[in-house]
Amino acid sequence: MQQRRIIRIDEEKCTGCGRCIPDCPEGALQVIDGKARLVSDLFCDGLGACVGSCPEAALTVETRPAEPYDESRVMANIVKAGPNTIAAHLAHLKTHGATDYYEAALDYLRRHNIPLPDDRKPETADRRLPCGCPGSAVRTLSPPESAPGSDASSARPPSALRNWPIQLTLIPVAAPWLRNAELLIAADCVGAAHPAFHADLLRNRILIIACPKLDDADHYLKKLTEIFRHNTPKSVSVAHMTVPCCFGLVQLVRQAIAASGQTIPFAETTIGLDGSQVADN
């Protein structure tokens, strides 16, 4: 056993809908007796691609003692399902930056004389990646044109940014502007996607940005816990994109609030890829 990140399923929230299953090409999840089950620690890589596909927020990633993930055993299971599942698994590993697992998977295929699928083709605008991570799909977005007769330059709003640095890794836990603040914890892409980010989300708040997919989630969890514990924020709002991988930021913040022992008002805003404000909770 070793301490590592692995999926946790809240059985009370799980409805057994099965939406998480396609996002786990490794075969770690199955629906059994009307509930999603983690059938083997060995098959769960802990990358959390399935988390955002659950409509009930029943899936989270936790750190606990578990059997080490075994890429060779995963591949032995995956190859039985055919080339499409192999390609889905490789794309899943690559898009989540799991380089060691990816190379181990390729090595398994070479050693067993199994053709390598072409998982390097660019994705079209409307196609989901085989691993269920549309956040990595290439898309061309068309911003709306200005209204007739309007002059965008004359209506440029002021910045609402109130602090620096803004990246979670760089922010000192004892930064003075964190004390009793209203915090906005935003996924990196939100500011670029939402056209009224400063006016709608950031105004009168202290900004922290983070990427739940590309950065060290365990480090983020510890850092946020310390920030909440020592600064007693008035409120915490999380803004994230609608893509599944981005929902991991919500789970990290909720876990950090619980670990901090503080009672902090929490709000969540989801931003669509077209910049629209999809939902508020």
- Same domain, yes or no, for 198 and 119? no
Residue 249: both structure tokens together: 């930021």
Phi, psi of 265 (to 5 degrees): -55, 135
pLDDT digits (tens, 9 = 90+) for 135-176: 544 444 455 555 555 555 556 778 899 998 899 988 888 788
Domain hosting 172: range is: 159-280
> Which of 6-15, 103-112, 118-127, 219-228 has the lowest average pLDDT?
118-127
Q: What is the CATH number of the domain that holds 264?
A: 3.40.50
User: How far, in Å, CA of 140 to CA of 61, rounded?
Assistant: 31
Instruction: Specify if 217 maps to a domain.
Output: yes
Residue with tokens 């009168």: 204
**Domain count for the chain:** 2
- Same domain, yes or no, for 183 and 270? yes
Instruction: Specify if 139 maps to a domain.
Output: no
Q: What is the CATH number of the domain that holds 10?
A: 3.30.70.20
Q: How does the average pLDDT of the chain come out, rounded? A: 83
Closest to 222 (Cα-Cα) out of 262, 260, 265: 260
Give percent above pLDDT 70 in the chain. 85
How many other C-beta atoms can be found within 10 angstroms of the C-beta atom of residue 137?
A: 17
Q: Evaluate whether 220 touches 182 at the Cβ level (below 8 Å).
A: no
> What is the pTM assigned to this prediction?
0.54
Residue 131 has pLDDT above 60, yes or no: no
pLDDT digits (tens, 9 = 90+) for 231-241: 999 999 999 99
